[in-house]
Amino acid sequence: MYCIHCGKQIDDGDKFCVFCGKSTGEAPIAPVVSVAAGESAATGEPASTSVLQVSSAPVTPPVMPVYNPQGFAQYNNPPDSKKSPTLLIAVAVFLLFVIIGLVIGILLVNKKNSKTDDTTTPSIYDSTENADNIDSGSITEDFAVDSSDSSDSSDPKTAASIVEEQIEEFSVDKEYLEAIITAYSTTNNVSVAIIDLDTGKEFKVGSSSEKFVASGFYAPIYLLAKDLDSTLANTMMSKQDNDSANKLIEKFGGLSKVNSALDDLGLSHTTYGRKFGDTKASNAGKENYTSPSDAVKVLKMMYENGGYKKMQVNLSDEGISAPTGVTYYANRGQGIGGAYNIFVIFETTDYNYAVAIFTKHEGKTAAEAKADAAPMISELLSAIKP
C-alpha cells in the first residue's frame, strides 16, 4: 500500500507512515447512491436522467512528487524487487580473470628468478681426456677439473624441470654409502662428511666426529693466514707445499695461536700438534688432527671466500674416478700413520657440495694406503653425486 499523504510505499496494515509520520487511515469511500429508474432522489418525481451508481471500491492514492533540492520533482516509483543475474555473472567473470592474471604473473616471476647463470669456470683440462699428461705441480693459475659430458650441456630446461629442481633437495643415501665402506673396510677406519654448500645441510657417514690424522689439510691455515702472505698461501694450496704451510704458521704466531683461532671458529676437533711433514714430531706423539665434520665446515668457508679454486689435485692422477657431469676442486693428504684423505668441492648444474673422506690404513705404506683407498673413494663419490 501507499501513504495517502506522501505517496511512498509502506507495508500493508501500517497505522502510520514510516516516512512522513502521518496516520495511514484509508481514503474515504465514496457513498453509493442508488436511484431507481424514473424517480428523482430528492422529490421522488420522475427523473430526466438515467440511474447513477458510484463504486464502493477504495480509491488508490496518486503517486506524490518528492521535493528535490535542485527544484525538480522526483517520483517514488515502487522499486523493482527482481535482481538481474546478468550483473552478478559479469562481476564473477571479471574476478576470475583478475585471479588468473595474478597467478600467471607470479609463475612468470618465479620462472625468471629460477634461471641460473650458466657461466662456468674455464677448465685447464677435462678429467676424462688426457688428464695423465698434466703436471699438476706446474699449474699456478686457478682452475677447475671439469668431468661433464658436453653433449648434455645444450639441452634446454623446461618449465616443469625448473619447478622440480626448486622442490628437490640435495640428499644422500647414507645406508648405501655405509654398504660401500663395509665392502672395503669398516666405518671405524673410514669416515665421510658431505655438506650442501648452498644450504649448509650436512650429512655424516661413519665416525664423522672422530679425530683423524689431518694429512693434507692445508685449508685451515689458508683461512687464517692468507691475508698475511697471499703468495705463500696460494702456493701452499695449489702445490700442497709443506714449507709454505709452515712459514704461514710462523707468520701467524705459531701452532698455539693457530689452534686458538681455529677454536674461535668453532672447529673444536681441529688441532695442529706439529708442523707439516715433521715425521719426527709425529713419532714422538705430536700429531695434527681433524674430523670429517670440521673438514667440510672448513671447505664451506673456502667456497665462500673463493680459496677453493686453489685446490688443484687431479683425482685421476690418484687413481680416483670423478663423477661425470661435475666440476671439482680437490686436495689430498697421505703418508703419516697410513692415512689417506681427500677434500673435494663439487659444482653441478643443480647443486654445489663438498666432501671430506678420511681413511686409516695402519701398518701400510703411503702407496699401499692409496691403492686400498682409491677404488672405494671412487665408488663413494659416484654414490654421493645427486
Residues 300-345 have pLDDT tens digits of 999 999 999 999 999 999 999 999 889 999 999 987 778 999 999 9
Calpha distance 157→140 (Å, rounded): 36
CA atoms within 13 A on the CB side of 124: 20
> What is the b/e burial string over 309-344, where b = at least 16 CB atoms within 10 angstroms of the residue's CB?
bbbbbbbbebebbbbebbbbbbbbbbbbbbbbbbbb
Check pLDDT > 90 for residue 297: yes
Name 204's bridge partners. 193
Alpha-helix residue ranges (DSSP H) falling in 72-201: 85-114, 159-167, 174-184
The answer to whether 188 touches 209, Cβ cutoff 8 Å, is: no
* Residue in this structure with the C-alpha cell 480509491, named with its chain if needed: 59
Residue 112's pLDDT is 56
Of 375, 313, 381, the residue nearest 348 (C-alpha): 381
- Give me the amino acid identity at 68: N
Tell me the CATH architecture of domain 124-384: 3-Layer(aba) Sandwich (3.40)
**C-alpha dist (Å) from residue 48 to 2, 16, 103, 223:** 40, 46, 89, 133
User: 182-216, pLDDT tens digit by residue?
Assistant: 999 988 899 999 999 999 999 999 875 678 999 99
What is the pLDDT confidence band of residue 88, given thresholds at 50, 70 and 90? confident
Q: Which three cell numbers stand for residue 367?
A: 702407496
User: 260-294, pLDDT tens digit by residue?
Assistant: 999 999 999 999 999 999 989 988 999 999 999 99
What is the pLDDT confidence band of residue 298, given thresholds at 50, 70 and 90? very high
Residue 165's pLDDT is 41
Residue ranges matching CATH 3.40.710.10 in the chain? 124-384
What is the pLDDT confidence band of residue 71, given thresholds at 50, 70 and 90? very low
User: 217-275, pLDDT tens digit by residue?
Assistant: 999 999 999 999 999 999 999 999 999 999 999 999 999 999 999 999 999 999 999 99
* Residue in this structure with the C-alpha cell 679454486, named with its chain if needed: 309
Structure-model confidence comparison of residues 313 and 171, the more confident one: 313
User: 39-61, pLDDT tens digit by residue?
Assistant: 444 444 444 444 444 444 554 55
Which 3 state secondary structure label does DSSP give 67? strand
Percent of the chain clearing pLDDT 70 (strictly above):
67
- Greatest C-alpha distance within the chain: 160
Which 3 state secondary structure label does DSSP give 190? strand
Residue 17's pLDDT is 82
Check pLDDT > 60 for residue 28: no
Of 340, 344, 342, 343, the residue nearest 371 (C-alpha): 340
